[in-house]
Amino acid sequence: MNGFWFTLQHERLHIMPVLHERLEFAEAVRLALEEIRPQIVAVELPASLESHVLRAVQRLPQVSVLLYESSRGEPLYLPICPADPLVEALRWAMEHGCTACCVDVDIDSPMLWHEKLPDSYAAFRLGHREFYQAVVAHGLQELHPWDRLREQGMALRLQRLLGQGGQVFFVCGMAHAQRILEDLRSKLPEPMDRVQRKGVQLFHLHPDSMVEIMTEPPLFHTIYEMRRKGLPPEPQDNALEPPSSAQGRLRLLHGGASMMQDRARACWNAAQWCARRCHRDLQESPAAGAGLRELLEDDGPQPPAHAHKLPMDRQKLLWRWLQRAARMYRYRTGESLQPWQVHGLMRFSRNYALLEGRLLPDFFQWVASAKACVDEDFAYEVWELGRTYPWQGENSTDLPTTRIRGEDLWLGMRRLRIRPRVPRKKRPQAFPVRQRKKETHPGQWAEALDGEALCSYPPEDLLVERFGGYLRQKGVRLLSEERSRVEPFTSSLLDGIDLRETLRNWHEGRIYVRETRRVRGGVGAVVVIFDPDEDGRKYPYCMTWYGEHEQESDMAFYATPLGLKMVGPGISRCEYGGFVMSYPPRRMGDIWKDPVYQVLGSKPEVLLMAALDYTLEPYVVYVAARPPRFWFHTLAARMGLKIVYLPLGQFSSATLKRLRGFHVLSGRDKRLIAKDYILGV
């Protein structure tokens, strides 16, 4: 017996007390069975369901669900998932030719109540023996009369199994183990339960229902499944790595067929990668001096060959999940997680879990924390990877498929004393990410992007226009502040008392007043440079757009290639490298084809030159990480203009991120459907 798993023993019987449906205990069962190698395996599931349960276990890794009704007509269901200690015990027995049986008493009395047990991760940290002893020492909750009947029934059946000879391995909930052990020593009455149950139906579970009915995230089941018989291979291809622009165009020519497959393959690769790096490794320590940014990129050392025999560390699993989600997020949005975001996410998710009495966050809290500390796009990546379970197709050849809705379930109740669950009317907390539509066949969306009649998405136009308006106001305000003047009060209060100056000179006994001098004219054009694209390759898509109505500015921009990221039929997501906005509209020529601008050194300079040429007001606002060359200031002065430079860092990163991503629609008809595919504007 090692420190990770623990059993109570009676003659040739090993009783393993577990918490139901928890990864740590499924691992413990698997490792214990490999070491004990019993001849008979029994579990705390109703004997009347045995044949159905065993059939469902045989279907693994496809997940099934048993549905039936109690005699009072209440629907009951039982999911059969890989990372469940009871399921693992039965599965191991069937794979090794042992006797697998369910010994619980079918009392037909749905009972639901909370068991106030510690987080199963504590068992990983403390050791199972210490965890169990601590639970017993603190006392299990009040015993229900039905439980005694069930325990005595299970003890009687275990006595009979012991009579068959050989080692017997029994898995049951922690609440029962000690009493069953005691019952084994006495003579027990025959339980009065039903031997057979009619109307039990076995269904293939629809993949969309998995998140709703699994206690653990589907990704954990996937990783558990991958590690059951050895470590999965290291993923070789880099699906979801950003393709170069040339590759992007090539993909588009081929109808973008590989994009959807890339997504599924990326999740599969990410799960394999996580599965190889989630074991307990006491030797491993983060690189000295590494910051969070480096740790996010760190793959860690290659795992030893026996890593699958080492218990999985849930905390490490969450970290690996985060690392891979961050990579997908970078691909999809072009944004990297900032160290302060990771730091905040870790602290917040820890506190959130603690509030509900857990050591580590559950799936919902993990996604909600990702949304709260980063953004909805990142939360979506976390959610998408978390629901990865590659073996579950929408249909199955051997069973009908069922969908189970969250509203039918008991979501919110974490641990149950008996396995078959009773649906309960309780509104589940919906995951804080919105579902996104998918292609019906690979390349469907790219086919609709024919390059003709391209147009923008109006809510994004509003956003950019509003930001442009804000920059114009800010530019004027900045110039006004530069020109304001403070002087002692004589005959006029001017624009009001300057309290700070008055207090500073309190000893003089004079009042100081401020005069704000308004600037004449306003800001005519606005240039925003997110990325100067110094090597000229990242943002090859250059375009000039005219305002569609009197309230909209003309706009010219350079951006990431059209068609590289398709989000809907004929809807491509691009990212601005920079843009210029000029008001009033319908005056700007195509600046990217204007030979006068060809002599300029870079795209930001073309935009700034266009701003100076097309502005009707004396000021041009230029927002960038670095100010423009001095030559431009001289040129602007000669033209009777002034460039107001604002550093990019002054603006909210969230706003910049929202502005930077935009969508190009292939035809105005796409505007009607775009809102179903474009989120977060």
Partner 1 sequence: MSYKQVSDRRILMEGVELYLVHPDELPMAWVGQQECWKQLLAAWLVVEPQDIPMNPRLVGKPGVGKTTLAYAAGRSLGREVYIYQATMDTRPEDLLITPVISPEAKIRYVASPLVTAMIRGGVCVLDEGNRMSEKAWASLAPLLDHRRYIESIVTGLKIRAHKDFRFVATLNEDASTYELPEYIHSRLQPQIMVDFPQREEELRILRENLPFCQEEILRYVVDFLQKAHEAEERYTVRDGINVARYAVKLLRQSNSVDAISAVVEGMRMILGDEATQYLKL
Is residue 348 at the binding interface for partner 1, with CB under 8 A as the rule? yes
Length of the chain equals: 681
647 SS3 class: strand
> Applying CB under 8 A, which part among 158-166, 180-188, 584-592, 650-658 lies near partner 1?
650-658
Nearer to partner 1, 347 or 441 (CB): 347
How near is the Cβ of 470 to partner 1 at its closest, in Å? 7
Rounded distance between C-alpha atoms, residue 544 and residue 564, angstroms: 19
Is residue 672 at the binding interface for partner 1, with CB under 8 A as the rule? no
Nearest Cα to 616, choosing from 573, 587, 575? 587
- Are residues 540 and 561 in contact, defined by beta-carbon separation less than 8 angstroms? yes
Nearer to partner 1, 470 or 546 (CB): 470
Nearer to partner 1, 8 or 511 (CB): 511
- Which residue of 3, 247, 470, 505 would you call a contact of partner 1, by CB under 8 A? 470
How near is the Cβ of 72 to partner 1 at its closest, in Å? 26
Chain positions 210 to 249 lying near partner 1, rule: CB under 8 A, are none
Query: Largest alpha-carbon pair distance within the chain?
Result: 110
Tokens of 299: 């793959």
How near is the Cβ of 373 to partner 1 at its closest, in Å? 5
How near is the Cβ of 435 to partner 1 at its closest, in Å? 16
Rounded distance between C-alpha atoms, residue 68 and residue 75, angstroms: 6
Rounded distance between C-alpha atoms, residue 18 and residue 7, angstroms: 10
Nearer to partner 1, 99 or 484 (CB): 484
Is residue 341 at the binding interface for partner 1, with CB under 8 A as the rule? yes
Nearer to partner 1, 441 or 500 (CB): 500
Is residue 654 at the binding interface for partner 1, with CB under 8 A as the rule? yes
E-strand ranges in 6-125 read 8-10, 13-18, 40-46, 64-69, 75-80, 99-104
Is residue 655 at the binding interface for partner 1, with CB under 8 A as the rule? yes
Rounded distance between C-alpha atoms, residue 51 and residue 438, angstroms: 38
Beta bridge partners of 557: 543, 579
402 SS3 class: strand
What are the residues whose beta carbons fall under 8 Å from the beta carbon of 246, sequence distance 6 or more? Answer: none
> Applying CB under 8 A, which part among 287-295, 364-372, 553-561, 562-570 lies near partner 1?
364-372
Tokens of 670: 């796409």
Residue span 429-448 as binding mask against partner 1, x where in contact by CB under 8 A, dash where not: x--x----------------
Nearer to partner 1, 86 or 526 (CB): 526
Nearer to partner 1, 12 or 350 (CB): 350
- Are residues 555 and 464 in contact, defined by beta-carbon separation less than 8 angstroms? yes
Is residue 560 at the binding interface for partner 1, with CB under 8 A as the rule? no
- Which residue of 372, 478, 494, 681 would you call a contact of partner 1, by CB under 8 A? 372
Is residue 378 at the binding interface for partner 1, with CB under 8 A as the rule? no
Chain positions 506 to 535 lying near partner 1, rule: CB under 8 A, are 506
- Which residue of 32, 49, 103, 368 would you call a contact of partner 1, by CB under 8 A? 368
- Are residues 526 and 476 in contact, defined by beta-carbon separation less than 8 angstroms? no
- Are residues 41 and 15 in contact, defined by beta-carbon separation less than 8 angstroms? no
Is residue 651 at the binding interface for partner 1, with CB under 8 A as the rule? yes
Q: Are strands 571-582 and 554-559 parallel, antiparallel or unpaired?
A: antiparallel
- Are residues 216 and 21 in contact, defined by beta-carbon separation less than 8 angstroms? yes
- Which residue of 338, 480, 551, 634 would you call a contact of partner 1, by CB under 8 A? 338
- Using the CB atoms, write b or e for 172-204: b if 16+ within 10 Å: bbbbbbbbbbebbeeebeebebeeebeebebbb
Number of residues engaging partner 1 in binding (CB under 8 A): 35
Chain positions 410 to 429 lying near partner 1, rule: CB under 8 A, are 427, 429
- Positions touching partner 1 (CB under 8 A) are 338, 340-341, 344-345, 347-348, 350-352, 354-356, 368-369, 371-373, 427, 429, 432, 466, 469-470, 499-500, 503, 506, 649-655
